[in-house]
Amino acid sequence: MIRRCAAFAALAALAACETLQPGGKPAAVPAPAPAAETPTPKPAAPAPPLRATSWDAITGWRDDNPQLAWSAFVAGCEALKSQPQWQSVCAVAAALSEPSRDTLQRFFETNFTPYQVVNADGSDSGLVTGYYEPLLAGSRTRSTRYRYPVYGVPDDLLQIDLAELYPELKNMRLRGRLDGRRVVPYYSRAQIEDGAAPVTGKEIAWVEDPVELFFLQIQGSGRIKLDSGETIMIGYAEQNGHPYRSIGRLLIERGDLPLEKTSMQGIKAWARQNPGKLRELLDYNASYVFFRELPPGLPGPLGALGVPLTARRSIAVDARYIPLGAPVFAATTWPNSREPLHRLMLAQDTGGAIRGAVRADFFWGFGAEAAALAGRMRQSARMWVLLPNGMEPPSGTP
């Protein structure tokens, strides 16, 4: 027990947890006869993240055409078909040749069980944002124009897996570095930018705009058009372990931007107008993403599931609540609009800012239109996840 507590203390130090100590006051003298203590009520148990429901209860289920999500589902089966829970449905899917809309409707209703996604307090609404695949201008060599590096993974970055000793930590990924014999948190964004991390020689490319590089890290993947004429694709490889902090929220709190202008486009405009304050703003988000160059010819960036993402049909989710690869039906609205957007999606990615059950990031694809839609999307949504019949829903525990 002592060793177990010590291990958790070390984790708490890395995570910078905070605890509160309650206080009390003795009774006056002479004291009355002691009364029976009133038991402290136990806090209500959090609601299970997935609640079984019916197909008729899914808002807009019959409004969408599942054919438009079929290629994304089939791609996901390539990563899932060896898992026992998915073998049967993926085998049935592989046997379907150019299925009609009605055929696919029956396929999902026959082979899957629908669950509504709910928050810990039992509510069923949450936030859906958007992301996209940006295009940056860059070079393989540093120059006056191209002077901001896109780094690969540094050699001293450690990923610590404690799940074998502590199964309850199976969804926690700790990252750090060695300082003598101690494991300490990895360098923050500011420290990496100041040259503290051993990243020299890890440059994949150099780009011309620090703000575009920052948003490339937020998106997690993108393309770089090199001055040689070649275009390369890069994807998420690792992260420094620091939690994501929203620079948009900071701008609101400081009164630098109103809420309605804290889209990606609004933040970029603020950066152009305030170059002297930019470094301080970016350093507020200590999280830092490292990349890898992807094979040429991929139809889209690789998500956490390991398959290329499909524009407007792939989403990023919190995998503690929604299994990667699962079909998810989202009932939301178009960016900055009340126009309904009811769509069958595939949970094929994750993200540092995507935390919670009813929370998703909608992948809009590549190009200017995708950037415009992703940057403005901050909508309320309800979600339903479809699990193969007989599959045990996740508990949502960390």
Quick one: 59 exposed, middle or buried, by C-beta within 10 A (0-12, 13-18, 19+)? middle
**pLDDT at residue 297 in the model:** 87
What average pLDDT does range 160-168 have in this prediction? 75
Residue 168 has pLDDT above 80, yes or no: no
| Percentage of residues of the chain with pLDDT beyond 90 | 77
What phi and psi, each to the nearest 5 degrees, are found at residue 329?
-95, 125
Q: Rounded to an integer, what distance in angstroms lies between the CA atom of residue 46 and that of residue 350?
A: 23
Q: 295: which 2 tokens? A: 């094979």
| Percentage of residues of the chain with pLDDT beyond 70 | 87
For residue 175, give the amino acid letter.
Answer: R
Decide if 232 contacts 205 (C-beta within 8 A): yes
**pLDDT at residue 6 in the model:** 40
Residue 36 has pLDDT above 70, yes or no: no
What average pLDDT does range 17-33 have in this prediction? 41
For residue 201, give the amino acid letter.
Answer: G
Confidence of residue 26 (pLDDT cuts 50, 70, 90): very low
Closest CA to 246 of 353, 397, 369: 353
Residue 265 has pLDDT above 90, yes or no: no
**pLDDT at residue 272 in the model:** 93
**Runs of H (alpha helix) within 194-277:** 210-219, 247-253, 264-273
State pLDDT tens for residues 231-243.
Answer: 999 999 999 999 9
DSSP 327-380: EEEEEEE-TTS-SEEEEEEEEEE--TT--SSSEEEEEEEESHHHHHHHHH-EEE
**pLDDT at residue 161 in the model:** 80
DSSP 255-280: TSS-GGG-SHHHHHHHHHH-GGGHHH
**pLDDT at residue 14 in the model:** 43
Closest CA to 124 of 49, 44, 46: 49
Q: How many CB atoms lie within 10 A of CB 80?
A: 21
If residue 10 lies in a helix (H) or strand (E), which one and from where to where?
A: helix 2-15
Q: pLDDT: is 355 or 1 the higher one?
A: 355
Alpha carbon separation from 258 to 131, 298, 362, 380 (Å, rounded): 21, 39, 24, 19
Residue 11 has pLDDT above 80, yes or no: no
Confidence of residue 203 (pLDDT cuts 50, 70, 90): very high
Q: How many CB atoms lie within 10 A of CB 28?
A: 7
What average pLDDT does range 319-344 have in this prediction? 96
**pLDDT at residue 40 in the model:** 62
**pLDDT at residue 338 in the model:** 93
Q: 242: which 2 tokens? A: 């620091």
What average pLDDT does range 35-41 have in this prediction? 58
State pLDDT tens for residues 77-128.
Answer: 999 999 999 999 999 999 999 999 999 999 999 999 999 999 999 999 999 9
Which letter, b or e, does each residue of 192-222 get, where b requires 16 or more Cβ atoms within 10 Å of its Cβ?
bbeeebebeebebbbbbbbbbbbbbbbbbbb
State pLDDT tens for residues 356-371.
Answer: 999 999 999 998 999 9
Confidence of residue 228 (pLDDT cuts 50, 70, 90): very high
The residue to which tokens 């705009």 are assigned: 209
What average pLDDT does range 261-289 have in this prediction? 93
What average pLDDT does range 287-314 have in this prediction? 94
Residue 27 has pLDDT above 50, yes or no: no
